[in-house]
Amino acid sequence: MIYLALAAAILGGFLFLFIEIVDKLKGNELIRFDETVIEYVQAFISPRLTEFVNVVTFLGSVKWLAFAVVAAAVLLIIFKKKSLAVFMVVSSGLGALFNMLLKWIFKRERPDIRPLIEEQGFSFPSGHSMGSFIFYGSLAYMIIHLAKRKRWKAAWTVLLGCFIIMIGLSRIYLGVHFPSDVIAGFAAGGAWLTIMIIGFRYYEYRKNV
């Protein structure tokens, strides 16, 4: 019961954040916030940093995440963790489709403020941010699920969490997403991952009953 209450609270928090952003987006209340954050982040633009940021943003791309999901699933199957492999594929695969649906619903155009690279498609919510939260969040959950030492669990969770944030910031730095796109991507990804974890835990419970 405590686990379910905690999961429900986390899910509710992510949903509340996403709904709040959508509400302010419809009322054009995010323009000043977005422009201020973009101006601050892009003040650090330099050739060397841009090279590094391009590498970071690639690790949140569809191509990389698709490869990483398949590789992780294969490794999990080899180590006889089939249920976790299915969890990884389903959470990231359906999460990507969910992001496409959200983009189609909101149809927000990308920012036109000093873009350093070209991107196609709609902007809201950020696919890199949402996909990274789901995939790297899934990795963190699996490490927590499988690791025996608390230090390893905590260290990897913090590391992957920082990595997710870096990918989100890379999209703002490169000028292809509004900050509100990134935050909404994190919120939507967090809500989706929480639902997937609840489903996985329920499956494990039913299997062991």
What would the two tokens of residue 176 be?
């292809």
Nearest to 21 by CA among 203, 181, 202: 181
Q: Tally the domains of the chain.
A: 1
Other C-beta atoms closer than 10 Å to the C-beta of 44 total 10
pLDDT tens, residue by residue, 17-75: 999 999 988 777 888 899 999 999 999 999 999 999 999 999 999 999 999 999 999 99
- When mean pLDDT is compared across 9-18, 96-105, 149-158, the lowest value belongs to 149-158
Domain of residue 152: give its range.
2-208
CB-based contacts of 142-149 (< 8 A; 24+ apart in sequence): 142/76, 142/84, 142/87, 142/88, 145/84, 146/81, 146/84
What pTM did the predictor assign?
0.92
pLDDT tens, residue by residue, 134-172: 999 999 998 888 878 888 888 999 999 999 999 999 999
Question: How many angstroms separate the CA atoms of 50 and 154, rounded?
Answer: 30
